[in-house]
Amino acid sequence: MKILVFEKEEHLDAYVGETICDFIRQHDQATIGFATGSTPLGVYQYFIDSYQNKKVSFQNVQAFNLDEYVGLKPEHPRSFALAMKNELFSHIDILPENIHALNGSKEDMDEECQRYETLIEQNPIDIQILGIGMDGHIAYNEPGSPLDGACHVVDLHQESIESSLDYGFDHIEEVPTQGVTQGIGTIMKAKQLIMMAKGQKKADLVKRMIYGEVTSDFPSSIIQRHPNVIVCLDRSAASQLKEEDYEKR
């Protein structure tokens, strides 16, 4: 596992952004997994700037979102599908038919999960961007999720419901109580993972993710078992790590 700790947030965002832009430029087809949440927003801005400055095109990119709320239509203002569109996809030249996501408003969610799992099997993800939730989740794999799980519906834990208030919900009662997510097994099939974390509130979580036991009680710990993972942190998020374990940037 490569752990990089950046002095400045814009350098972290530019490193992740440029790593992915480079991959896209060097391949005829690239399949990228996108995460919502506040952590990758600077990377998405880097993609938009790079596209506007004609340094990269997303026409040959297939995009896969990680997760969604159950019960929200893709066009719902608080859906992750709309967040990704507003934060990134509507500002770059990605083809609408190449944007893939779980639809949380389907009547038969098992069928929807199977559809998405099969689609990812057919289009293996080259690089998956990840963040870490306040209870250690990745995507919406809450503590207790099977380490080899496929796409599935999940009951959101209280911590995740409360964190959703940061994503524009006005009242806790408006936050859906279930999510639908790529499973940990699905995520682990990506060829490369880029895990990002920023801020002091993530420091203990990052420590447990990197040094802790690999356990379904703390889903993000699974990244220790992935053969190709880069962890990109700011100084605060890395503050509980031993200096000899990371590279300073």
Give me the residues that bind ligand GLP (CB under 6 A), please.
35-39, 66-67, 131, 133, 139-140, 160, 163
Least distance CB 96 / ligand GLP (angstroms): 22
Residue 243 token pair = 């200096």
When the beta carbons of 92 and 180 are compared against ligand GLP, the nearer one is 180
Q: Which residue is nearest to ligand GLP (CB)?
A: 37
Minimal distance, residue 64 CB to ligand GLP, in Å: 12
Residue 193 CB, shortest distance to ligand GLP, in Å, is 12
Among residues 20 and 56, whose Cβ is nearest to ligand GLP? 20
Nearer to ligand GLP, 64 or 140 (CB): 140
Please identify, using beta-carbon distances, which residue of 56 and 68 lies nearer to ligand GLP: 68
**Between β-strands 178-181 and 67-69, what pairing exists: parallel, antiparallel or unpaired?**
antiparallel
User: How near is the Cβ of 54 to ligand GLP at its closest, in Å?
Assistant: 29
Q: Is the dihedral of CA 212, 156, 160, 100 positive or negative?
A: positive
Closer CB to ligand GLP, residue 56 or residue 156?
156
Please say which residue, 30 or 196, places its beta carbon nearer to ligand GLP: 196
Cβ contacts of 117 within 8 Å, gap of 6 or more? 150, 151, 183, 186
CB 160 within 8 A of CB 170: no
Nearer to ligand GLP, 38 or 228 (CB): 38
Minimum distance of ligand GLP from residue 129's CB (angstroms) = 8
